């Protein structure tokens, strides 16, 4: 491979020069304000140049402040909606009413709510239900505090306050992205005769280009999947979703085989599928359907993993402990296999079991690994439920893990990725991103982070950054970003972040930032509404 080709290879260990993120920044992991001076610019500028530069800076700061205020409003509104949604659950409502009637006689309902949602959410539910506390003052104060968490040390929230020679590079990358995205929004009178309507065919065509790029012209090393071929019958949800060798996570420890492991294959597959008459042992202990996504502009290592099946839960926790991962982002729902009846045995690859202890105080054991639920907190985020887990293996030191779970299906909300990615960005260990197939939703989220990191650090090629970032992720996690709508969501999410930095009125109208009923955002919202009528499995 030539040095020029190596620049674009996911195997490459090249790190780009970084003016925003340095060792001093990464060493600061506390919630303290970073002192960053703006700088006065070049002294040779004339009076009017300085005046207009100062004016533009002030206007930008106003847009940033307005953008952050709107984000906070959405964050608080979603939290209140989450509280009301829990209260709308019939069993919860009946329990709360019974608790209000017998307030001094029993606390059983309180205990149940705390186990499910954590102590803070249980208190919020009482405040929301009882008229005396209906204003939810505690919810609002805590929501504002959670929203500001880690923002002061997040480079994505502070880059503009860097010296001009640094912030100028970031601003130029953002401008190129906005110019490129705006040029792809096309308008026509033919879609809706008599009315000027936009269409997004340039974006969907770009997604088809991505599929062609990552399906053709790759080297044998880039497409090799020998380990997957040795394990997919028992450890993969689908033989059509491979796990390539060069980026796969290899389990290095010696597993402790559970007593029922010998029955795992019989539970999942019939004899015809296995074809074990050859007498050759099938599968390897080092395989898990998970891939590293790292290098390039990324500040942190990601692991995209398929959801554990009942027979691979132990392997999943082996990976968590081996990689010392402190954050798991789960983007699909989980079910209790016992509630499925015969369906669970007939289709074990179609669902994700509860592979972690759900309630505070619960403990589960898989092989030589013990997972304890130390605390549940449903108040940290309006969408995710957070479990604080302690993972121990044999006599080794315990590993503290935050497990964030939300079933992401609706793509009309472009606010949430930045909250969870901020934690991953500032994490010192690999972040596991997990959905049912480990590609569709997980790949979209990691690609968003790749684009955002590009703004901060740059890459050898600055043009068409979403396409190149998607290819960068796909070369490490095969079939990442499973649909054109997920690809469009990447654009929509990045647009949400860059929106305060778009000053051109033409671009703001074209992208739908000035009026949500026109431009890119309006067309994307229409596509999301159509898609929401059918539930996607991944």
Tally the domains of the chain: 2
Query: Which tokens hold the place of 116?
Result: 């499910």
What DSSP state is assigned to residue 250?
A: E
Whole-number Å distance between alpha carbons of 518 and 193: 16
* Boundary residue ending a domain (105, 124, 148): 148
Do 523 and 408 lie in one domain? The reply is yes
Cα distances (Å, whole numbers) of residue 78 to 73, 136, 421:
9, 13, 18
Question: pLDDT-derived band of residue 12, with 50, 70 and 90 as boundaries?
Answer: very low
Tell me which residue has tokens 């026109």.
518
Do 109 and 211 lie in one domain? The reply is no
Mean of all residue pLDDT scores within the chain? 80
Mean pLDDT of 289-303: 95
Q: Which residue has better confidence, 43 or 439? A: 439
Assess contact for 58 and 204: CB atoms under 8 A. Answer: no
Q: Which residue has better confidence, 1 or 387? A: 387
Predicted TM-score (pTM) of the model is: 0.80
pLDDT given at position 145: 72
Q: What is the pLDDT of residues 96-130, one digit of tens each?
A: 555 554 544 445 556 666 777 777 766 666 665 54
Highest averaged pLDDT of the listed ranges 37-46, 173-182, 452-461: 173-182
Tell me which residue has tokens 């689908």.
238
Whole-number Å distance between alpha carbons of 491 and 154: 21
Residue 173 is assigned to a structural domain of this protein:
no
Q: Which residue has better confidence, 326 or 164? A: 326
Whole-number Å distance between alpha carbons of 200 and 382: 31
Q: Which residue has better confidence, 175 or 63? A: 175
Do 69 and 197 lie in one domain? The reply is no
Query: Which tokens hold the place of 62?
Result: 């106003």
Residue 321 is assigned to a structural domain of this protein:
yes
Do 290 and 366 lie in one domain? The reply is yes
pLDDT given at position 104: 45
Q: What angle do CA 216, 199, 174 make, to 5 degrees?
A: 70
Length of the chain: 538
Whole-number Å distance between alpha carbons of 522 and 528: 10
Residue 388 burial (CB count, 10 A): 17
Reduced to 3 states (helix: H, G, I; strand: E, B; else coil), residue 207 is helix
* Boundary residue ending a domain (148, 163, 195): 148
Residue 183 burial (CB count, 10 A): 11
Residue 28 is assigned to a structural domain of this protein:
no
Do 445 and 396 lie in one domain? The reply is yes
Cα distances (Å, whole numbers) of residue 156 to 421, 448, 456:
11, 13, 7
User: Largest Cα–Cα distance in the chain?
Assistant: 86
Do 363 and 445 lie in one domain? The reply is yes
Mean pLDDT of 178-204: 85
Tell me which residue has tokens 């004339």.
46
Tell me which residue has tokens 């062609």.
212
Q: Which residue has better confidence, 530 or 85? A: 530
Q: Which residue has better confidence, 87 or 308? A: 308
Helix (H) / strand (E) element for 143: namely helix 137-148
Do 109 and 251 lie in one domain? The reply is no
Q: What is the pLDDT of residues 263-293, one digit of tens each?
A: 444 554 444 444 444 445 568 999 999 999 9
pLDDT given at position 360: 92
Question: Strand order in 248-250's β-sheet?
Answer: 248-250, 287-293, 302-306, 431-435, 327-330, 399-405, 385-393, 369-377, 363-366
Strand ranges in 86-194 using DSSP code E only, listed in sequence order: 186-192
Residue 444 is assigned to a structural domain of this protein:
yes
Residue 434 is assigned to a structural domain of this protein:
yes
Residue 21 is assigned to a structural domain of this protein:
no
Residue 156 is assigned to a structural domain of this protein:
no
| pLDDT above 90 as % of the chain | 47
Question: pLDDT-derived band of residue 13, with 50, 70 and 90 as boundaries?
Answer: very low
Do 368 and 457 lie in one domain? The reply is yes
Instruction: Provide the CATH number for the domain around residue 276.
Output: 3.90.190.10
Do 135 and 195 lie in one domain? The reply is no
pLDDT given at position 252: 95
pLDDT given at position 149: 72
Question: pLDDT-derived band of residue 217, with 50, 70 and 90 as boundaries?
Answer: confident
Residue 538 is assigned to a structural domain of this protein:
no
Q: What is the pLDDT of residues 69-95, one digit of tens each?
A: 777 777 777 777 777 676 666 455 555
Do 198 and 100 lie in one domain? The reply is no
Has residue 140 got a pLDDT over 60?
Answer: yes
Q: Which residue has better confidence, 178 or 18? A: 178
Has residue 511 got a pLDDT over 60?
Answer: yes
Do 78 and 135 lie in one domain? The reply is yes
Q: Which residue has better confidence, 217 or 94? A: 217
Do 315 and 442 lie in one domain? The reply is yes
Q: Give me the domain span that covers residue 78.
A: 47-148
Q: Which residue has better confidence, 156 or 20? A: 156
* Boundary residue ending a domain (148, 165, 192): 148
């Amino acid at each position: 491979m030539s040095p020029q080709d190596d620049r674009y290879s996911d195997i490459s260990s090249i790190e780009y020069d970084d003016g925003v993120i340095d060792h001093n920044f990464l060493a600061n992991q506390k919630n303290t304000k970073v002192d960053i001076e703006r700088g006065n610019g070049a002294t040779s500028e004339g009076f009017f140049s300085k005046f207009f530069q100062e004016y533009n800076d002030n206007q930008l700061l106003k847009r940033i402040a307005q953008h952050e205020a709107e984000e906070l409003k959405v964050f608080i509104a979603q939290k209140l909606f989450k509280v009301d949604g829990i209260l709308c659950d019939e069993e919860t409502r009946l329990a709360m009413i019974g608790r209000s009637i017998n307030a001094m006689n029993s606390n059983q309902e309180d205990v149940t709510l705390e186990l499910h949602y954590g102590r803070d959410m249980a208190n919020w539910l009482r405040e929301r239900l009882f008229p005396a506390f209906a204003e939810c003052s505690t919810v609002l104060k805590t929501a504002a505090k959670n929203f500001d968490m880690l923002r002061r040390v997040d480079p994505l929230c502070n880059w503009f306050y860097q010296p001009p020679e640094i912030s100028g590079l970031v601003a130029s990358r953002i401008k190129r992205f906005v110019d490129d995205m705006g040029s792809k929004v096309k308008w026509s009178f033919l879609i809706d005769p008599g009315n000027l309507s936009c269409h997004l065919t340039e974006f969907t065509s770009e997604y088809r280009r991505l599929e062609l790029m990552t399906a053709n012209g790759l080297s044998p090393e880039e497409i090799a999947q020998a380990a997957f071929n040795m394990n997919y019958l028992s450890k993969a949800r689908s033989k059509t979703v491979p796990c390539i060798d060069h980026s796969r996570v290899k389990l290095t420890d010696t597993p402790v085989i559970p007593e029922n492991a010998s029955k795992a294959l019989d539970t999942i597959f019939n004899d015809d599928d296995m074809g074990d008459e050859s007498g050759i042992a099938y599968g390897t202990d080092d395989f898990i359907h998970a891939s590293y996504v790292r290098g390039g502009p990324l500040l942190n290592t990601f692991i995209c993993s398929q959801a554990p099946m009942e027979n691979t839960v132990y392997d999943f926790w082996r990976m968590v402990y081996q990689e010392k991962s402190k954050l798991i982002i789960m983007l699909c729902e989980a079910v209790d296999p016992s509630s499925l009846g015969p369906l669970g045995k007939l289709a074990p690859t179609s669902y994700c079991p509860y592979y972690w202890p759900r309630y505070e105080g619960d403990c589960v054991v898989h092989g030589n690994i013990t997972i304890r639920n130390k605390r549940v907190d449903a108040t940290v985020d309006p969408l995710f439920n957070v479990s604080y887990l302690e993972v121990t293996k044999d006599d080794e030191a315990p590993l503290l893990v935050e497990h964030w779970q939300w079933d992401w299906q609706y793509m009309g909300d472009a606010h949430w990725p930045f909250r969870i990615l901020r934690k991953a960005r500032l994490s010192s260990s690999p972040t596991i991103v997990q959905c049912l197939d480990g590609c569709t939703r997980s790949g979209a989220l990691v690609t968003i982070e790749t684009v955002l990191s590009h703004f901060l650090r740059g890459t050898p090629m600055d043009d068409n950054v979403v396409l190149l970032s998607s290819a960068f992720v796909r070369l490490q996690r095969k079939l990442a970003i499973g649909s054109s709508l997920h690809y469009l969501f990447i654009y929509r999410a990045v647009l949400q972040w860059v929106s305060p930095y778009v000053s051109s009125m033409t671009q703001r109208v074209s992208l739908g930032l000035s009026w949500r009923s026109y431009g890119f955002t309006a067309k994307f919202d229409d596509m999301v509404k159509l898609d929401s009528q059918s539930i996607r499995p991944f």
